[in-house]
Amino acid sequence: MVLIIIALIVVVLVKNKNDNIVIPKESIRIRIIASSNETDDINEKLKVKKEVEAELAKLLKDTKSIEEARMIINENLDKLNIVIDDTTDYNYDVKFGKNYFPKKYYKGVLYDEGEYESLVITLGKGTGDNWWCVLFPPLCLLEGNEDTKDVTYQFYVKEIIDKYVG
């Protein structure tokens, strides 16, 4: 019985500790907004996400600082537009700068609401659901593995944040 109580206390302490993980203010996010929530529009958003994410992964794979990431994104906006042009026939808008993000809680990590430096791609009317993640520190790489357990995800997020920011 004592061991069960101790185990419960440890679980509560670990959970509370992990709830405090937040993405640092010095980060760059990406957001892709679907034209609408119609199936075709959501599928188009996912198609664009796949291609843009692959291009950004190549461009940012060796990035060591937010300044370097910012410079690489700015210098490659034309290249990203070409990737989007080659992927979709939808009208779209690309903005890199300060953009609004709603609060999100995902796998034990709190992503605060606010204005963040980000790359936002809006497809068509831009009224559909969005996909977003953090380009720097490079947390987008985590999204490829949906089997990742919550606690593993939380500790890995903390490790990446500490590596690039701490």
Residue 157, φ and ψ in degrees, nearest 5:
-60, -45
Secondary structure letter of residue 146 according to DSSP = T
**3-state class of 132 per DSSP?**
strand
pLDDT above 80: residue 136: yes
Contact, 144 vs 50, CB < 8 A?
no
The alpha carbon torsion through 9, 159, 150, 143 (nearest 10 deg) reads 170
| pLDDT tens, position by position, 84-97 | 999 999 999 999 99
pTM: 0.74
108 φ/ψ sector (left φ>0, alpha ψ -120 to 50, else beta):
left
Q: What is the pLDDT of residue 107?
A: 66
Q: Which residues pair with 93 in a beta bridge?
A: 122
Selection from 10-19, 92-101, 151-160 with the highest mean pLDDT: 92-101
| % of the chain residues with pLDDT over 90 | 46
Model confidence at 152, pLDDT cuts 50, 70, 90, reads very low
Q: What is the pLDDT of residue 70?
A: 95
Q: How many CB atoms lie within 10 A of CB 10?
A: 10
